[in-house]
Structure 1
Amino acid sequence: MSTDAQLLTREWVKQLVIGEGLCPFAHPVFDTLLIDVSHSSDLETVTAEFMHLLQRVAEADPQQLPTALFVTPEVLHDFDEYWNWVGICDNLLYQLGYEGILQLATFHPLYLFEGEDEADMSHFTNRAPYPTLHIIREAEMEAVLASATKPERIPERNRKHMRRLGREGLLKAMPALAKSRVFDDQR
């Protein structure tokens, strides 16, 4: 059963992450990408669901489940609250024995890089329609990075691309973002 949050997140990955080349590693796993949406408004329940997904990914065959997105449309709307929760999730990953096996990447509708002007388009490299954690297999990431040309330049290239694209270009690439919190100027 697909949900609106699941569909919008999948569209975001297809149109922006892959379509705009933000992650050159996303296209090969797109067809097997698991998007797990928590519909709970209770953070304790959401955290338990996240722990279950961590275990599921860690124990799955990497060919069957190479990566997963955990989406939380009902909670963590405040970026600082989300960032604190990410720290808890990182700690849980360590406590569950998955350090060195799995890692997390962070996305939020109001993502802000420390030290960047709030209006800078660079933040949009990590802005997703909903608070999201990306569970990545470290071995897979290391293999992909070893075959990539100058992977250390990807973050800066993405920031420059978002600045060139601008708000209008981003909305042209994915009009559905206009209805999401990604462009919510109310912080």
Structure 2
Amino acid sequence: MHTDNQIVAQTLKWVRTFIVAQDICPFAQRELERESIRVEVVRSKKTEVALEELMVEVQWLDEHPETETTLLVFPTLFKSFEHYLDFVELAESILIDQGYEGIYQLATFHPDYCFEDTEPDEASNYTNRSPYAMVHLLREESVEKAIEFYGDTDAIPERNIAKLNAMGSAVAEAQLQRCYEPDVSAGSNR
């Protein structure tokens, strides 16, 4: 079992080496450079506790406007993608019930992510495949500003699907697996 620090490092490596390097999300690099991405590891084994932790994180973001976004990582929960989707549905309902509709939104990532109407081995699924099950809490106001700046964001998913289909599942999976490898020290002379 990886430590929380290792999970944070692996998650950030995935963001850097896949999400940013492959330009899956054109907005991620700016937040990495600003160090405004928070990664929190939740080791709960119960969905109810994970939902409570989600709301704790929402409150934390309310109190820390300098942090743009949070990746809430669940290394011990949601091994099943279907179970994860059930959690996401509950999480979105709780955000609405607690008055956070229009303030925060969730982006979803899972190691076995599979879009509706796709086969599990299709490369396009890698746009949302991650080292661990996680939800990405986004400030809706920031999303709106990014869309205003970027322009036609509707083209991003189609572009990503084409890019990943050209890359192929094997290459995408290899890139995902590299996130688990320790980084070699920048000062190494090897």
Unpaired runs of 5+ in structure 1?
180-187
Residue identity matched to 2:172: L
Cα displacement (A) at 1:66: 0.7
Q: Does 1:38 align with 2:37?
A: no
State the identity as a percent.
Answer: 30
What TM-score, normalized by structure 1, do the two folds share?
0.88
Coordinate RMSD, CA, aligned: 1.8
Q: In the alignment, what sits opposite 2:140?
A: 138
Q: In the alignment, what sits opposite 1:182?
A: none
1:103-114 correspondence runs (5 A): 103-114=105-116
Q: 1:131 to 1:171 in 2, by over 3 A?
A: closer
Q: 2:4·2:41 contact (CA, 8 Å) conserved in 1?
A: no
Residue identity matched to 1:164: A
Q: 1:32·1:65 contact (CA, 8 Å) conserved in 2?
A: yes
Q: 1:138 to 1:2 in 2, by over 3 A?
A: same
CA deviations over 1:123-148 (Å, ceiling 9, x no partner): 00000011110000111111110111
1:58-137 correspondence runs (5 A): 58-61=62-65, 64-137=66-139
Give the secondary-structure state (helix, strand or coil) at the position aligned to 2:154: helix
Q: Does 1:29 align with 2:31?
A: yes
Counterpart CA distance in 2 for 1:52 and 1:178 is 28
Counterpart CA distance in 1 for 2:116 and 2:174 is 27
Counterpart CA distance in 2 for 1:159 and 1:3 is 31
What TM-score, normalized by structure 2, do the two folds share?
0.86
Candidates 51, 56, 78, aligned match of 1:52? 56
CA deviations over 1:6-56 (Å, ceiling 9, x no partner): 111110001111011000001111122100111222332222111100111
Cα displacement (A) at 1:90: 0.3
Counterpart CA distance in 2 for 1:153 and 1:174 is 24
Residue identity matched to 1:47: L
Unpaired runs of 5+ in structure 2?
182-190
Q: In the alignment, what sits opposite 1:164?
A: 166
Q: 1:112 to 1:168 in 2, by over 3 A?
A: closer
